[in-house]
Amino acid sequence: MQLYWKAFDQLVSTDHIIDNDLNPIYHFEDQLVDGAIIDIGCGQTSPLIRYADITERRLIGIDNEPSQLVKLRSRMAEIAGADSKAWELITGDLMHSQLPNGPYAMVIMYNILHFFSLDECKEVIAKIDQHLITGSLISICVHSTKHPANDPANFDALAYFKHFFTQSDLDTLFPTNKFERLYRADIERDYERINSKVAALWAEKVITDMKIKDHRTKADIRRDATTQKSTAEIINVYRKR
């Protein structure tokens, strides 16, 4: 994945990330309570890049890959014009690391929960809930059961993504006695052209890094990297009661 993000760095500009960030939580910004904005599993495509230039709130990003956080900070500084002591970018494992003290006004978890089993997700949400207050917002994006990687005939289908979600799964994680759902979208979409370009460059970096000479193996890597051309996601925004 480090090679993937090197390809991403080469081809995807910070402006492109901001322009293509369609997180619905922005529609509820006028309802934000006091507290930090935290993005868990932030990577480089984080809304923190956008917020770096428009808020003085405490901004927290958590990712298990330090190089991602270095690049994220660079992109945030690019947009804001300078680095800030209000930005806390932390290397951590969501299941085993302690979360920074709250309260959290906004929690963003995009493309992270499907790397955990449903039981593990319950543990994660319980850990986050300790730092929420009434009015805290949570924006979630997960792979749905319609995702092309969800292949019941493939016994290895859950080796990488641990769970594909239904709306019922999410409502179990965010029960109505604790959370109000403000927004729901069930999305199936093709990848942008830039995604295909990044995947193709990634394949070439893998081939070079692993010093692969066999033509059939090269062809397999290129095919595997560029085969997936679509995704299926459920996006929800919740408010803590």
Confidence of residue 155 (pLDDT cuts 50, 70, 90): low
pLDDT in tens, 52-99: 999 999 999 999 999 999 999 999 999 999 999 999 999 998 888 899
Task: Say yes or no: domain 17-190+230-240 is CATH 3.40.50.150.
Answer: yes
CB 145 within 8 A of CB 164: yes
In single-letter form, the type of residue at position 144 comes to: S
pLDDT at position 192, please? Answer: 86
Confidence of residue 191 (pLDDT cuts 50, 70, 90): confident
If you average pLDDT over residues 134-145, what whole number do you get?
97
Q: Which distant-in-sequence residues (6+ apart) come within 8 Å of 238 by Cβ?
A: 137, 138, 140, 174, 179, 180, 181, 182
Query: Chain-wide mean pLDDT for the chain?
Result: 93
Domain boundaries, the chain: 17-190+230-240
Which residue is associated with the tokens 């929800």?
236
- Backbone region of residue 63 per phi and psi (left: phi > 0; alpha: psi in -120 to 50; beta: other values): beta
Instruction: Reply yes or no on whether the pLDDT at 160 is more than 90.
Output: no
Report the predicted TM-score, pTM, of the whole model to 2 decimal places: 0.91
| CA-atom Rg of the chain in angstroms | 18
CB 167 within 8 A of CB 186: yes
pLDDT at position 157, please? Answer: 63
pLDDT in tens, 196-214: 999 999 999 999 999 999 9
Size (the chain), residues? 241
pLDDT in tens, 12-51: 999 999 998 889 999 999 999 999 999 999 998 889 999 9
What count of Cα atoms within 13 Å lies in the side-chain half-sphere of residue 202? 21
Q: From residue 238, how far is each of 5, 113, 114, 227 by CA, in Å?
A: 30, 15, 18, 34
The enclosing H or E element of 183 equals strand 179-190
SS3 (DSSP) at 72: helix
